Amino acid sequence: MSTTATAIPGLVAGTWTIDLSHSEVSFVVRHLVVSKVRGSFRRFSGELQISEDISASSATATIDMASVDTRDPARDDHLRSADYFDVERYPTMTFRSTGVRRHGERFVVSGDLEIHGVTRPVELTVEFNGVTPDPWGGTRAGFSATTEINRRDFGIDLRIPLVGGGIAVGEEIKIQLEIQAVLAGSGA
């Protein structure tokens, strides 16, 4: 395992694993044109390969689509159905980075996002939140990231028109990540 310093203070090169219990993958979508509904996924995993040269770093993640949680069991069941996620055929969403670049104080992580059997390029805007030792002898790093996608680009095309105009569920989806990662071999 490499633990060489990077150009980011406190962040060292190596393998960092996403800590599920201290991380969140969530989304926001318009509902009935007038409001926004929020949801998250309870089960996911991922890994960051941090390199001395940050631009050579990479990230992978897998999200269990059946773990969707919008605090409404009937809506969650509908999202799992063939109308939306079709979790029987497409049980996971995956992300695999293809590049990292600095953009001011933040970073842009480019990658391929696969949802519903369709892969499209996306860019995540990433904020590095810092590094800290944990109480168990490990080292943790925090990251916040966002991106926006159009669900129709991924073959999720259900359109329920409303009498006053618009559709019941918006097409633009904002994805938000709060990630706490643990450095492999750091004692955590």
Cα gap 28→12, rounded to integer Å: 33
Neighbours of 19 (CB within 10 A): 17
Q: Whole-prediction pTM value?
A: 0.89
- The number of C-alpha atoms within 13 Å of 166 and in the hemisphere containing its C-beta is 12
Neighbours of 16 (CB within 10 A): 27
Rounded CA-CA distance 126/2 in Å is 23
Specify whether the backbone of 169 is left (phi greater than 0), alpha (psi in -120 to 50) or beta. Answer: beta
**Residue 8 banded pLDDT, cuts 50, 70, 90:** confident
For the stretch 78-130, pLDDT in tens is: 999 998 999 999 999 999 999 999 998 899 999 999 999 999 999 999 999 99
**pLDDT, position 157:** 81
CA–CA gap between residue 182 and residue 140 (Å, rounded): 5
Residue 7 has pLDDT above 80, yes or no: no
Q: Which DSSP helix (H) or strand (E) runs through 78?
A: helix 73-80
Query: Is a pLDDT exceeding 50 seen at residue 1?
Result: no
| In the predicted structure, residue 69 carries a pLDDT above the cut 80 | yes
User: What count of residues does the chain have?
Assistant: 188
Is the pLDDT confidence value at 163 over 80?
Answer: no
Q: How far apart are CA 188 and CA 185, in angstroms?
A: 7
Q: What's the average model confidence in pLDDT over 14-42? A: 90
What is the reported pLDDT for 97? 98
| Average of per-residue pLDDT across 18-32 | 91
Least confident window among 31-35, 54-58, 136-140: 31-35
* CATH code for the part of the protein at 14-183: 2.40.128.110
The residue ranges of every structural domain in the chain are 14-183
Is the pLDDT assigned to residue 169 strictly greater than 80? Answer: no
Q: Give 185's pLDDT tier (boundaries 50, 70, 90).
A: confident
Which pLDDT score is estimated for 118? 97
- Of residues 187 and 18, more confidence is placed in 18
